[in-house]
Structure 1
Amino acid sequence: MTREIVSVEVAGCAVPCVAHRPAAPRGVVICVQPFLEEANRTRRLFNMVGTALAARGWSCLLPDLPGCGESPHALMQVRWQTWVEALAGLIARQEPPVRLFSIRLGALVAAQAAVRVPVERHVALAPVDRGDTHLRHWLRVRALASREIGPEVSVADLEGEIAAGRPLLLAGARVPAELAQEIAAARWPGTDYAGAAVYRLGSGIGGIDAPVYWQLAEPPEPGAAALQIADLVLA
């Protein structure tokens, strides 16, 4: 079993990926991360899931989609379809069978990509099905933080900035207004999508009794949860 960093050229973008590979892979699982700080807080979980999948004979790719993580592309140049097209291209480059494991906003990107390039199975943790509610969450986080660090802004102020076409600073990232508007407009696919197996963390629903990692500033080691998730992805 090996772990390496690879770069895959898809949809005109270089997509760096952490690749966990067994000696003789039976298939590949592509992991799709959530947005902004939630990606940082779940990175360890994704990597441990990748290790568990490789131990079970499946390759695992953890891509940094354009504008995210170690991507060489600036987030200010990214649009919603940039993510969807890059992920769809990455899926299409793999030898089947291909499965997806996603969290939060990553699940919405994954679902839209899987409409274009179908996969064998998609396991989604706490998927976002409406982009507008998710964007509003980040606007509330920004507004609350402004009360401590100043200058104070409201959610309505931030929505006005987006409407005026001005970028926002969210969780330390400069997000273009166009991308924010497209996130708000994004919806879970309709009847043309086969669907995902949906699970939640924190309550034990779906057999995963673990903390909600993306809500914790210092998430605990996700060893047991990673093993359970790997089992669900391969079910």
Structure 2
Amino acid sequence: MLRFGPAEGPVVVAALPLFEEANRTRAFAVTILRALAERGIVGLLPDLPGQGESLLPTHETDLAKLRAGFAAAAASLGVPVFTFAIRSGALLDGDAQIAGRYHLSPMTGADLRRELVRARQASSREAGEAFDPAAIDTATEPVELAGNLIAPAFLAELSAAAPSTEAVRTVRLETEAKPADAKLPGSPLWRRAEPDNDLAFASAVAGDIAAWIATCAG
């Protein structure tokens, strides 16, 4: 778990998106946490079960393990914390004891599953391979989607998974049509082919998080 900021102060625990989007947005999330540290806010970025440096293989994780890992990270400092989740990371903070949730471009589990299936369909077409999405529902072994081996039970869980709506501030890109509490200019880094960063966007998000925390504390 990476830790940023002062020894004491408001605490933000970050949840990266699931699967490949975590790699694409990690530098962006770290930039935001460093910017929060400059504002006197403690930041934590845990590697959850099946993510990052975790020793658990991706195909052995599921929503329950990920949520329990995030809740444990949030409880590790023994003080009320705020969460900051990007995209499908918003599916992971529902079991944590928190003071407030900040969701950046959150998505449902069903949306994530559709994107994973579309990515697999596209790669199968390019490789000239056959792929039947319906086979996912009857699979008994891990399924490879977008370069990740995922347990069929995890994929089934995603169909009904949704972000928590309690004590949440939802922020989206200006280009997104879905409703939000605020919209910011920036780049959808999670859609890029390679990991990247957007310093101006990260600064705007950090500023919004800091202002939101100040409002919650008040």
TM-score class normalised by the smaller sequence: 0.7 to 0.9
Q: 1:164 aligns with which of 126, 139, 144?
A: 139
- Residue aligning to 2:100: 121
CA contact (8 A) 1:76 1:176 kept: yes
Give the one of 120, 123, 140 matched to 1:145: 123
| CA separation of 1:73 and 1:187: change in aligned 2, threshold 3 A | same
Q: What is the deviation of 1:135?
A: 0.4
The change in CA–CA distance for 1:146 and 1:90 in structure 2 (over 3 A counts) is same
Q: Distance in 2 between matches of 1:62 and 1:198?
A: 20
Amino acid at match of 1:91: A
Which residue is equivalent to 1:19?
A: 3
Aligned-residue identity in percent: 32
Describe the superposition over 1:16-66 as per-residue Cα deviations: whole angstroms up to 9, x where unpaired. Answer: x121132x4312110001011111111111010111011111111111111
Please name the residue that 1:133 is paired with. Answer: 111
**In structure 2, the residue corresponding to 1:227 is in which secondary structure?**
helix
**Structure 2 residue aligned with 1:187:** 162
The answer to whether the Cα contact below 8 Å between 2:142 and 2:150 also exists between their aligned partners in 1 is: yes
Could you tell which deviates more after superposition, 87-96 or 66-75? 87-96
- Contact map agreement 2:49 2:56 (CA 8 A) in 1: yes
The residue number in structure 1 matching 2:17 is: 34
1:31 is paired with a residue whose SS is strand
Q: CA RMSD in A?
A: 1.9
* Partner-residue secondary structure (3-state), 1:102: strand
| 1:177 has 2:152 as partner | yes
Contact in 2 for aligned 1:38/1:214 (Cα 8 Å): yes
Q: What are the equivalent positions in structure 2 for 1:26-65 lying under 5 Å apart?
A: 26-65=9-48
Moved over 6 A (4+): none
> Does 139-148 or 86-95 show the bigger shift?
86-95
Partner of 1:211: 187
Q: Secondary structure at the match of 2:92?
A: helix
Q: Is the 8 A contact 1:66 1:73 kept in 2?
A: yes
Q: Deviations over 1:105-156 (max 9, x none)?
A: 111212x224xx2x1221101111x312320111011101110023131xxx
